[in-house]
Structures are given as C-alpha cells and as structure tokens.
A and B are shown apart, each in its own frame.
Chain A
Amino acid sequence: MTGAVPEPVLVARGLRKRYGAVEVLAGVDLAVASGEVACLIGPSGGGKSTLLRCLNVLERPSGGSISVFGEALCRDDGTGVRVAPERTLRRARSRMPMVFQHFNLFSHRTVLQNVMEGPVTVLGLDREAAIDRARRLLRDVGMADREDHYPDQISGGQKQRVAIARAMAMAPSVILFDEPTSALDPQLVKGILAIINDLARQEITMLIVTHEMKFARDVADRVHFCDGGRIVESGCPDDIFQRPRTARLADFVRSIHE
C-alpha cells in the first residue's frame, strides 16, 4: 500500500474479554482500514471469534475500547467499560453485519424473507424495494431459484450463500465473517470462498476469521495472527506466511504446511 494511509473504519484498543477466570482476549489492538480485506488467523481457542463478537458488541468486552466509523461503541475510562447506548450499537451493527459459522438463518422464513428481513425491519425499506434487492443479491450468490425454499430444505453451502446475501442486503460498509466455511463439506468451501472473493473486489471492508490459509493469502490485504488472546503479528500475506518474525507464528505456519 502506498500513499496516504486510509482512515481506519474499525479500531480496537487494549480490548480484553474474560469469562470468569479465563482471559480470552488479553489486550487486543486492531485497526482495519476502509476497503481493506483483513484476515484473522491463528490456532483454535486463540480468541479470534470472541474478538469478532466483541467488535459489534454481541459480547460485552471486559476492558478496552472500540470505535467504528469514528464512533465509540465502548470505552474504558479506567473505572470500567462503558458501552454506547443501544441505538448507537444498532446503527453500527446494521452497517457491519456478520456472517456466522453456523449460518443462523431464520428457520421460519423462506430464503427470500431471510434476505428481506434486515432491509424491511432495520432500514425501513418498503416491501417492493426489499424484494428487488433480495432477488438481485440471491442471483449474485447463485440462489435465485431457491427463493421460496425454507432453510431446512437447502444444503449448508446454500445456507451460507443466503447468509451472505442477507448481510449484503444491509448495503454494509463492513462485513464480519466468523469462520464462514468451517461447518461446510470440503467440496462446498470453494464456492463460498469464490463469493467472498468477488465481494473483496467491491469497496466493502471485510474482516474474516478463517482457517483457510490459501484463501487468506490470496484475498487478504492484511493478515493478523491471533494467539493467546493477543494479536501477535500483523502484516501483508507474504510477510506473515513467508517471513514470520515471531517463533509462535513460525510454528503455526509450519504446522499448517505439514
């Protein structure tokens, strides 16, 4: 990247999260620039998913601060964490929806209704416009012929396509992906990664927790290695995968090549 560094849309400083005695995040500093595709990699239990869930305050952080689009979602004044009012959180979430490992489609709604839900209830779009938007997005993810199916009638890979369309329907600035291919059969993974790859070419900022290293290397502008509740190393994919500076990252990179 050359020239002026773009304004970060997503900043976390000293982010901590503990469950009882277990400290899952031990002070994470992270910045994601506008339009950037950032991948979070690292061993299981390293805090990647928790970090993602803290960023949109699905989980309440135990310490540190988060700001999104220049607006503080939570800050730590030394006496404890202050979370922004519900309305601020909702607005931020609607601009950076999340795609989940287990899809989490609304099981009582059809594919089309799943994609329409956000635009109608949150953005206040009228039904006709929401239907048009949903149909266009379903076509983009190859699900146009399944719009009247219910989630229990389609496969895992198809559910994830719908979930991505549901996130895209918010016309988001950022999308958070939480291991989007981890629950899928190997032959379905490729299709989902191809869709994310297409999105990466648009101007959408993406933060992706993934175990797909080849994908991270191909699509990411920046890779963050997360281990032991901290971001141990950050850099461009070549540096991270070919010139690791820390022993922990070197071990991790070696372990995935074995």
Chain B
Amino acid sequence: MHRFFFREVPEYFPFLLQGAWITLVLSLVSMACGLALGLAVALGRLSPYRAVRWPLDAYVELWRDTPLIVQLLFIYFTLPEFGLTLPAFWAGVAGLSLNLAAYLSEVFRAAIAAIDPGQRQAALSLGMSRVAIYRRVVLPQMFRATLPTVGGYFIALLKDCSLVSFISVNELLRHANIVIADTFDSMNTYIMVGFIYFVMSFGSARLIGLLERRLTPRHQRHGAAMLPGPKGAAA
C-alpha cells in the first residue's frame, strides 16, 4: 500500500494521464464525426429514393453486425493492402466513428419519425422550405429527445477507445500495458486505469446531464412539479 501511493502513483500516473488525454481527444473527435455521419445517414435513410436508402441500409447492417475490434483491425491492417494507409490515430477515428454512426443513425431516424407529422405540415403551410423545417422544427426536437441516448453512446465510446490499443494508438490502456511490462504490477496499474476511466465517464455523464437540463423547458424537467394548468385546461 505504502509502495503504491508513494512510489508507483507519482511515477506512472502522469504517463497514464498522457494516455487518458489521447483517449479523450480520440473520443471527442470520433464523437463529432460519428454525430455528423450518423445524422447524414439517418436523413439519407428517410429519402424517398431507393438508390440512396439501399446502400445506407447495407452500411448500417454491416457495421452493426460485425465486432468493432474486427472493423478496427480491418481498417488499420487490411485497407493498406488496397492502397489506403491511415496513421493509427486516424484509423482509430475512422473505425470508431463509422461504428458509432451506424448506431446513432438508427437513434436519429426513430426520433425523427416520432415527431408529430402535423408540425411539419404546419411549417409547410406557413411557406417554410424543407431545409428550414429541418433546421427549425425537426432537428431541435430530435436533438433534445436523443440527448440522453447520445450521451450514453459517448460514455460507451470513451471505454471502447481502449480497443484502439490493439492498433497501436498510444491511449490509456496501451500506456497501462507499457507500465505493466515495466513493473509486472498489473493489479495496481489496472486500479489506476479503472479510476481514470471512471472519472472521465462520470464527469461526462454529469456534463451531459447538465446540458440536458439546460435544453429542457423548466416545467418538463424531471422531478419538476407540473405547473398548475390554466383553468379548464384539457392537457
């Protein structure tokens, strides 16, 4: 115990934090790419044209039905055979965001479908363009409705980042393995690694919770007492 706190932590913790920093950057970049791609795929899959829908359907199925680690290994080790070589970090971003987008596109698609079509008709009947309807009516409601789920995916992503240690990205788990190779002390190292993952995930969850609260009107917030309705209110 004494050895753990007074020798190992001061010696290896900063090195592990460097890895954690890479994990965090990798997660944020992959999340941004995954969100953009997931939204594009969701919108594409709502297209009336089969030629647009079909390849996107195939993509979503293919990516959801194969393991992430296989996708990462494929991108890093197999794509170079076809002439596409990505640096480890960007191979990680590509693998994580393609995987995430496949799942998020389904989340977004369901949320868009759940918005009352009457609101779109009302917007159309005011003379709004399709782009304006998405920007002003559909997407804001979609983002608010999906925020808790998307937040959950971000936390999962933070931890899935550990898989990119297999393709030699110097993130948290890889740094941990380097430490273990040096000290043969896997137990104490993994305790530190677990602690760092927990702090990052817990912090993210709290931030997402705050964001969700900010975006929800006061009376709809969880635990808020329903405001007294107007006299004779039906709803």
Contact = CB atoms under 8 A, between A and B. Distances in A.
Interface of A: 56, 58, 86, 90-95, 97-98, 100, 102-108, 117-118, 121-122, 146, 150, 152-156, 158, 163, 166-167, 170, 176, 185, 187-188
B126 A146 contact: no
Interface string B57-86: 000000000000000000000000000000
Contacts of B48: none
A95 B141 CA distance: 27
Nearest to A151: B235
Nearest to B132: A121
Nearest to A114: B122
Interface of B: 116, 118-119, 121-130, 132, 136-137, 140-141, 144, 217, 219-220, 227, 229-230, 232-235
Nearest to B226: A153
A90 B123 CA distance: 10
Given A104-B121, A153-B227, 6 more contacts: A122-B127, A122-B128, A155-B232, A158-B230, A166-B122, A185-B234
A155 B229 contact: yes
A141 B235 CA distance: 20
A171 to B, nearest CB: 12
A181 to B, nearest CB: 14
B118 A104 contact: yes
Contacts, number: 97
A106 B235 contact: no
B233 A155 contact: yes
A156 B230 CA distance: 11
Nearest to B137: A106
Contact of B124 (A58, A156, A163, A167): A58
B148 to A, nearest CB: 16
A155 B136 contact: no
B161 to A, nearest CB: 33
